[in-house]
Amino acid sequence: MEAVAKLNNCPTSPRKMRLVVDLIRGERVEKALHILKFTNKEAAIRVEKLLLSAIKNWETKNEGSRPEENQLYVKTIMVGGGRQLKRLRPAPQGRGYRIRKRSNHVTLVVDSKNVETQTN
């Protein structure tokens, strides 16, 4: 049984977020939390909160089960571009340079490797 957590309009550029996300893709949840805790990037704090939210969502779906017993892992994690805030910075000779303040959307899916097959 898998659980999903989403983070929309996070005010970090998608390129910076992907650097952090690539570190935990496919890892066990406990190891991923340790990686994020000791990663020295601002995006790691946001991804850590998102991962904890996904774990809680999984626990809500599977009442009576513990993540440690079911070998919970990060199944998929995707970063997409969000909206851009467009600003102008004054430039020489009366011109204005455009600044694009980027944001992103992160979707995280956790799943358990301990899958019981049902026979009909």
Q: What is the pLDDT of residues 11-39, one digit of tens each?
A: 999 999 999 999 999 999 999 999 999 99
- The answer as to whether 80 is a domain residue is yes
pTM: 0.87
Q: Which domain does 38 fall in, by range?
A: 1-110
Q: Which amino acid is at 37?
A: K
* HEC readout, the chain: CCEEEEEEEECCCHHHHHHHHHHHCCCEHHHHHHHHHCCCCHHHHHHHHHHHHHHHHHHHHCCCCCCCCCCEEEEEEEEEEEEEEEEEEECHHHCEEEEEEEEEEEEEEEEECCCCCCCC
Q: Is 117 part of any domain?
A: no
Residues 62-86 pLDDT 10s: 888 888 888 999 999 999 999 999 9
Is there a domain that residue 39 lies in? Answer: yes
Which CATH number goes with the domain that contains 11? 3.90.470.10
Whether 73 is covered by a domain: the verdict is: yes
How many independent structural domains does the chain possess?
Answer: 1
